[in-house]
Amino acid sequence: MPTPSPEIQAFAAGFPVFLAHAGVTVIILVAAAALYVLLTPHKEITLIREGNTAAALSLSGVLVGLAIPLSASLKASTNVIEIGLWGAVTVVVQLLVFRLVDMILRGLPKRIQEGELSAAALLVGAKLATAIVIAAARS
């Protein structure tokens, strides 16, 4: 049987590592999003099911805001343990910053509950800005 090309060998060796690294990062993202939903003063999932566009925009911003530092952590890490550790740290920091943003921009959760898109857009912008800073700090 002929020896596979170096490209095929590299793919065969790297694919399981890719799956493990991406899998751990996605698990952290889902867990962090679930924790965020549990910690928010309003029930975003219920609001979204009721057709509240502001809540959907807000939660989308949270997901992207969590994914940005997680992607930086994934890129800068060399193994699954490091991804898990730095992923957990970036999520904790990001959730604390999200809470701080919610406190500074008082009244936004209520406005989001009422479907106000401008409040959701401001919240998304603030959360994405902090995500970019945290991601840069990690990388």
- Structure pTM? 0.86
CA distance 19 to 27: 12
- Of residues 39 and 53, the one with the higher pLDDT is 53
The model's pLDDT over 59-111, given as tens digits with 9 standing for 90+, comes to 999 999 999 999 998 998 889 999 999 989 888 888 888 788 778 877 888 88
Q: Which amino acid is located at 66 in the chain?
A: L
- 88, exposed or middle or buried, with CB in 10 Å at 0-12, 13-18, 19+? middle
pLDDT for 30: 96
Question: In the numeric block, which tokens belong to residue 68?
Answer: 């940005």
Name the percent of the chain lying above pLDDT 90: 50
